[in-house]
Structure 1
Amino acid sequence: MPKTLYTTAVAAAIGAASWAASAQSATYVIDPTHTFVTFEVDHLGISTNRGRFDKKEGTVQFDRAGKTGKVELTIDTASINTGTAQFNRHLQSKDFFNSAEYPSAKFVADQFRFDGDKVSEVAGTLTLLGQTHPVVLKAKRFNCTQHPMLKREVCGGDFETTIQRSRWGMDYGLKMGMADDVKLLIQVEAIKQ
């Protein structure tokens, strides 16, 4: 094979391999209208307090074939919504989220674990009240599909974990018998760009 033809063939093969590798990884933007971050916490053994954060944004890098990914999800802590304005204000105060000083919480992850071709866990860190600690979200459901109206691929699922809020310095009410364990439920959908 002539040298120039060989060089051209090798360059084409390398280019094709690079394109194939990059084609596997895609960027997805979190759809805020189909993404909800909610919490549940025991209230003095009487009932369960629930709430959600109305404002959130983020991106996902996802390579299904390579079984890798990255997530960045930012939550506006002042957007907490329990359905009761007075309770919202207390949760925004220094007793809990201190939203004036720490207006956002952030989950960042770069470890995707799979069960077959489905994401089973996403491991990363949660930054809250200026402190960062590891968190693992377990997938209760995960799927990617072509969205019939958007005409683009959408990936998402239902994830959950339980954290001890005191790890982040949120210890209001613990001495009065309020629960430390908080269950986080994250329903997320992200649209391929």
Structure 2
Amino acid sequence: MRKTTLVSVVAALPLLAALPAQAASYKIDPAHTFATFEIDHFGASVNRGRFDRKSGTVEFDKLKKTGKVTLEFDARSINSGTPDFDKHLMGADFFNVEKHPSIRFVSDRFVYEGDTLKEVTGKLTLLGKTHPITFKANQFTCYPNPIAKTEACGGDFVAEIDRTQWGMDWGVKMGMPKKVRIIAQIEAFRQ
């Protein structure tokens, strides 16, 4: 019979640390996760807004450089900073929150260049229609979060869409652009 000693256990620790990590589950931190949008307003200014209520999960395998992000935003929580504009955005001309109260993004691929995350591709469901979208990564990292006492992963991402693909056509004939810039700031805690 072989006895396990404290010395043999300690000696094996570096080998255990070298074993491949498995995919981990993360829950988004609503305090550090936002989706904002920007659209030109006749070349004079830029209209901006965000969604204040959101939820989601992330599955991430650092070694395989794979993962899946699922984010859901409550379209009724739109916040442009101007209540009358928010009402218009929530109406049938834009987000039509009565019929489509949520906006959903589900990723299908993480794209790396070496060890750097370059983009996340997936599908955006808006106004009952689903189309592909690519978010470019401005930055991304994982770190030990001292407040949550767990690992946090997060980044800053940007995408540009043609809103008419989802049927959001209001104002195009008046000269408002089709292109909308989406900025996604995401941070999630390992569970």
TM-score normalised by structure 2 residue count: 0.88
Shift of 1:66: 0.7
Unaligned runs of 5+ in 1: 1-19
**1:1-59 CA distances to partner (integer Å, 9 max, x unpaired)?**
xxxxxxxxxxxxxxxxxxx66x4200000100110100110001111001110011100
CA distance in 2, matches of 1:98, 1:110: 27
3-state SS of 1:191 partner: strand
**1:82-141 CA distances to partner (integer Å, 9 max, x unpaired)?**
001000000000000000100001000120011222321100000000000000000001
Q: Which residue of 2 aligns with 1:159?
A: 157
1:68–1:110 CA contact under 8 A, matched in 2: no
Q: Which residue of 1 aligns with 2:5?
A: none
CA distance in 1, matches of 2:57, 2:67: 11
Shift of 1:179: 1.2
Q: Which residue of 2 aligns with 1:31?
A: 29
In the alignment, structure 1 residue 48 sits paired with structure 2 residue 19: no
Q: Which residue of 2 aligns with 1:169?
A: 167
3-state SS of 1:58 partner: strand
Q: Which residue of 1 aligns with 2:72?
A: 74
CA distance in 2, matches of 1:136, 1:45: 25
CA distance in 2, matches of 1:88, 1:50: 11
Q: Which is worse superposed, 133-142 or 113-122? A: 113-122
3-state SS of 2:76 partner: helix
Shift of 1:151: 1.4
3-state SS of 1:41 partner: strand
Q: Which residue of 1 aligns with 2:6?
A: none
Q: Which residue of 1 aligns with 2:181?
A: 183
**1:129-167 CA distances to partner (integer Å, 9 max, x unpaired)?**
000000000000100000011110000000000001000
Shift of 1:73: 0.3
CA distance in 2, matches of 1:94, 1:107: 21
> Partner amino acid for 2:50?
R
Moved segments of 4+, more than 3 Å: none
In the alignment, structure 1 residue 143 sits paired with structure 2 residue 148: no
In the alignment, structure 1 residue 116 sits paired with structure 2 residue 133: no
> Partner amino acid for 2:107?
A
> Partner amino acid for 1:59?
T
Q: How many residues align?
A: 173
> Partner amino acid for 1:83?
G
3-state SS of 2:81 partner: coil
> Partner amino acid for 2:70?
E
What's the % identity of the aligned pairs?
A: 55
Q: Which residue of 1 aligns with 2:130?
A: 132
Q: CA RMSD in A?
A: 0.9
> Partner amino acid for 1:174?
V
